[in-house]
Amino acid sequence: MNRVRCLVLNAALGPLDYKVPEGMVVGPGAVVECPLGPRTVIGIVWEAERLAGTEVPAEKLRPLRGVLPVPPLSAALRRLIEWTADYYVASLASVARMALSSGGALKGPATMTEYRLTGGLPERMTPQREAALGALEGEQATIRELAGIAGVSEGVLRGLVNHGALEPVEVDCDRPYPPARPDFVEIALSAQQREAADIFSNAVRKAEFAPFLLDGVTGSGKTETYFEPVAQALRMERQVLVLLPEIALTENFLHRFEERFGAPPVLWHSSLKSTERRRAYRAVSEGSAQVVVGARSALFLPFARLGLIVVDEAHETSFKQEEGVRYNARDVAVMRGHFEQVPVVLASATPALESLQMAESGIYAKIDLPSRYGGAQMPTIETIDLTEEKPPQGMWLAQRLVDGIEARLERGEQSLLFLNRRGYAPLTLCRNCGFRYQCPNCSAWLVEHRFTNRLACHHCGHEAPAPKTCTECGEPDCLVACGPGVERIADEVAERLPQARVFVATSDTLNSPGRAAEFIAAVEAREVDVIVGTQLVTKGFHFPELTLVGVVDADLGLEGGDLRAGERTYQQVAQVAGRAGRGSKPGEVLLQTRHPDAPVIAALAAGDRDAFYSAETEMRREAGAPPFGRWASIIISSEDDAEAREAANRIGAFRPDVAECMILGPAPAPMALLRGRYRYRFLINARRSVQLQQVIRRWLAAIDHPPGVRVAVDIDPYSFV
Ligand SMILES: [Zn+2]
Ligand SMILES: [Zn+2]
């Protein structure tokens, strides 16, 4: 009797057993169609001994409906799925779903119809047709995509098809990507880069698990260094995964990659079109996608022959997924390297304390790049004490900082002002009645955006036009902006230095790879004098004429009492400071602060990274915080406040009593209302010896909730709201 156990993609169900029909061949990892009641669900054949299931008698088993035409998930990926589910207290199905992330790819080979210009003209020309013909020169895509490119309706293009000006082309959905060539261009490396590159390349050659921490100062050429082991993997016909934190801003990276390897890498991120997704997914699973550059979700792609994993800017908090399965891509990447038996390089100028600790305890090999490439010097850093050097009334920049920008203007150099706050002002209130504009769905103030003249919530996306009269008291023109956002700083620069050309760089203005490319080109062409930006500009950019960085409010990140606040501030300021003086001209950094003596600020000003890390380490050790102890949070939420509170209290009533494990709560979460859901929270702090996941799983397993209640577990949380 031929039966298999399947992990079906339904988090509410355990593994299910099925009969393998006559003539069907399936082994572990095969992606199959399973009957479930009247429906068919996708499942993955799993080793029966690894999944506890109920033994259904053979005569009751239903037969599998079919095997999907994709390679089976490898044993290494199946182990990664098991580990991730276990570690992050998630269901196997929800993790497995991340590995089957393209519905189109699972359907097998396919073709699609694209269109291109024939060179012919329509009998009757209209302005729209003319515009389309001009815009579509050299383009080939679906009608819908072409309509987007040309900025006309699909109807206009269908008209052009009927007139023979556009012709259909049958395209293989899975056509191969242009090959990256390991020896396309040799790059001159410094001695320190060469030494590091050789270590990584040897590790690729050995094809065994080896975790590295590449600790290189900003501007030291980390990317070019890890391109060498990438080339080594290509020579061995092994695949490479490079994880980047902000996939929308990879322009600069892609450009360097293409120059080095002669072809772009394969991209993977959430805004790919479904056709691009299926093409990338199938190429990855068949082994023909050589180098995949992706956001954290690329971590679960079914690589056929993985040879190397690189996590660039590994300290970035955006590697932490905050919804669904709350995993940290940096840590899961190391585990994938372990299961795949390949080296993993975590690259950063400001490594997370956890990563440094792993290096110190000998688990990661630490490779240093202590100096900048090409002899560029690290920038000088000075603080501006805002309690002494007060900006003028109603303004936010101290005179010394404005003078610095002015001096750059005169020399034709560029400045960057960093403030991690989008919009014009973080809080808007009524001068007449004091009403503060708050999001209806969240415990958060609405942020004024002057570019669009709207009030917006940065948590849920709620937006409304800025009211002309107060919505509370009806008084006209009485809204007051409180505090600065980047737009307000840009206004101030324009007012105090009218000759400066200012660009506001945030996720509002750089919201696509195209916009980001335009921004980079404008800065490189010296069409911008002052960039005012959020954390988006802290990394990746390399502008040789940028010689001054001003941090508008270095204390901002220290508010809020988050356990990583000090570290995050240090990383952010060090990263943005690293944008200064990357060419032949020296860089200067001015930090505006009200607390020049705070340990983080003092360490930044002194350029003393070790002092910062050792102070931070001691603080964490005393607090039992990671990496010395462990944190977890449980968030209980519902659209109904009473329902959420009752569920939290019910869970609280079953609170386990475990030695060396402290459970706080339930209490309203700091964001007590988020996207229309009321939230209550438990915080758990445990010694490393505690089996934290097991404690939580057993605790929660026994308790049922109404369907409107969600219980989310966050292991090693980054967000404490
Ligand atoms: Zn009012
Ligand atoms: Zn909101």
**248 Cα–ligand 1 center, Å:** 40
Query: Beta-carbon neighbour count of residue 659 at 10 Å?
Result: 8
- CB contact at 8 A, 637 and 441: no
Residue spans of beta strands (DSSP E) within 50-204: 66-67, 111-117, 166-172
**484 Cα–ligand 2 center, Å:** 20
Tell which residue, 162, 66, 52, 57, has the closest CA to residue 118. Answer: 162
**Statement: residue 395 has pLDDT above 60:** yes
**507 Cα–ligand 2 center, Å:** 17
Query: Beta-carbon neighbour count of residue 583 at 10 Å?
Result: 16
User: Tokens representing 20?
Assistant: 């393998």
Q: Which of 170-174, 497-501, 675-679 has the lowest mean pLDDT?
A: 170-174
**673 Cα–ligand 2 center, Å:** 8
Q: Give the ligand at the shortest distance from the Cα of 446.
A: 2
- Residue 18 pairs in a beta bridge with 4
Q: Give the ligand at the shortest distance from the Cα of 439.
A: 2
**480 Cα–ligand 1 center, Å:** 10
The predicted pLDDT at position 336 comes to: 98
How far apart are alpha carbons 636 and 690 in whole angstroms?
23
**383 Cα–ligand 1 center, Å:** 39
**694 Cα–ligand 2 center, Å:** 34
How far apart are alpha carbons 172 and 177 in whole angstroms?
12
Cβ partners under 8 Å of residue 522, min gap 6: 503, 528
**675 Cα–ligand 2 center, Å:** 6
**639 Cα–ligand 2 center, Å:** 14
The predicted pLDDT at position 619 comes to: 86
Q: Which of 248-262, 342-356, 470-484 has the lowest mean pLDDT?
A: 248-262
Q: Give the ligand at the shortest distance from the Cα of 463.
A: 2
- CB contact at 8 A, 676 and 684: no
Cβ partners under 8 Å of residue 616, min gap 6: 353, 566, 567, 570, 599
Cα-to-chain-centroid distance, residue 304: 24
Query: Beta-carbon neighbour count of residue 485 at 10 Å?
Result: 25
**454 Cα–ligand 1 center, Å:** 17
Q: Give the ligand at the shortest distance from the Cα of 438.
A: 2
**676 Cα–ligand 1 center, Å:** 25
- Per DSSP, the three-state class of 39 is strand
**485 Cα–ligand 1 center, Å:** 22
Q: Give the ligand at the shortest distance from the Cα of 675.
A: 2
The predicted pLDDT at position 561 comes to: 62
How far apart are alpha carbons 580 and 269 in whole angstroms?
30
The predicted pLDDT at position 549 comes to: 95
Query: Beta-carbon neighbour count of residue 387 at 10 Å?
Result: 9
Residue spans of beta strands (DSSP E) within 522-644: 530-533, 546-551, 588-593, 629-638
- Per DSSP, the three-state class of 169 is strand
Instruction: Summarize the confidence of residues 288-310 as an average pLDDT.
Output: 96
**436 Cα–ligand 1 center, Å:** 9
**Statement: residue 80 has pLDDT above 60:** yes
Instruction: Summarize the confidence of residues 385-409 as an average pLDDT.
Output: 97
Q: Which tens digit of pLDDT belongs to each residue from 659-684?
A: 999 999 999 998 999 999 999 999 99
**478 Cα–ligand 1 center, Å:** 7
Distances (CA, A) of 416 to 149, 409, 531: 33, 12, 5
**189 Cα–ligand 2 center, Å:** 48
**474 Cα–ligand 2 center, Å:** 23
Q: Give the ligand at the shortest distance from the Cα of 456.
A: 2
Q: Tokens 């929800």 sit at which residue?
A: 94
Q: Give the ligand at the shortest distance from the Cα of 433.
A: 1
The predicted pLDDT at position 1 comes to: 54
DSSP symbols for 659-719: TTEEEEEEEEEEEEEETTEEEEEEEEEEETTS-HHHHHHHHHHT----TT-EEEEEES-S-
- CB contact at 8 A, 612 and 672: no
Q: How does DSSP classify residue 213?
A: E
Instruction: Summarize the confidence of residues 210-218 as an average pLDDT.
Output: 95
**552 Cα–ligand 2 center, Å:** 26
Q: Which tens digit of pLDDT belongs to each residue from 223-234?
A: 999 999 999 999
The predicted pLDDT at position 251 comes to: 77
The predicted pLDDT at position 537 comes to: 83
The predicted pLDDT at position 286 comes to: 95
**554 Cα–ligand 2 center, Å:** 26
Q: Which of 88-92, 512-516, 690-694, 714-718 has the lowest mean pLDDT?
A: 512-516
Q: Give the ligand at the shortest distance from the Cα of 673.
A: 2
**477 Cα–ligand 1 center, Å:** 10
The length of the chain is 721
The predicted pLDDT at position 116 comes to: 93
Q: Tokens 């556009």 sit at which residue?
A: 166
Q: Give the ligand at the shortest distance from the Cα of 677.
A: 2
Q: Give the ligand at the shortest distance from the Cα of 429.
A: 1
- CB contact at 8 A, 12 and 40: no
Q: Give the ligand at the shortest distance from the Cα of 479.
A: 1
Q: Give the ligand at the shortest distance from the Cα of 469.
A: 1
- CB contact at 8 A, 384 and 537: no
The predicted pLDDT at position 649 comes to: 97
The predicted pLDDT at position 512 comes to: 75
Q: Which tens digit of pLDDT belongs to each residue from 530-586?
A: 999 998 888 777 888 999 999 999 998 777 667 788 898 899 888 898 888 888 888
**428 Cα–ligand 1 center, Å:** 11
Tell which residue, 496, 475, 104, has the closest CA to residue 276. Answer: 104
Q: Give the ligand at the shortest distance from the Cα of 455.
A: 2
**Statement: residue 590 has pLDDT above 90:** yes
Average pLDDT of the chain, as a whole number: 92
The predicted pLDDT at position 150 comes to: 87
Q: Give the ligand at the shortest distance from the Cα of 475.
A: 1
Tell which residue, 549, 369, 550, 396, has the closest CA to residue 482. Answer: 396
**718 Cα–ligand 2 center, Å:** 20
Instruction: Summarize the confidence of residues 698-716 as an average pLDDT.
Output: 94
**Statement: residue 514 has pLDDT above 80:** no
Read off the pLDDT band of 214 (50, 70, 90): very high
Query: Beta-carbon neighbour count of residue 311 at 10 Å?
Result: 29
Tell which residue, 613, 617, 642, has the closest CA to residue 627. Answer: 617
Instruction: Summarize the confidence of residues 278-297 as an average pLDDT.
Output: 96
**595 Cα–ligand 2 center, Å:** 31
The residue that leads in pLDDT, 77 or 295, is: 77
The phi, psi pair for 672, rounded to 5°, reads -70, -20
**458 Cα–ligand 2 center, Å:** 6
Read off the pLDDT band of 510 (50, 70, 90): confident
Distances (CA, A) of 190 to 257, 313, 369: 18, 21, 10
**459 Cα–ligand 2 center, Å:** 5
**568 Cα–ligand 2 center, Å:** 24
Task: Report the chain's C-alpha Rg in angstroms.
Answer: 28
**429 Cα–ligand 1 center, Å:** 8
First to last CA, the chain: 53
Read off the pLDDT band of 247 (50, 70, 90): low
**446 Cα–ligand 2 center, Å:** 8
**432 Cα–ligand 1 center, Å:** 5
Q: Give the ligand at the shortest distance from the Cα of 459.
A: 2
Tell which residue, 307, 521, 297, 498, has the closest CA to residue 406. Answer: 498
Handedness of CA 66, 72, 76, 80 (dihedral sign): negative
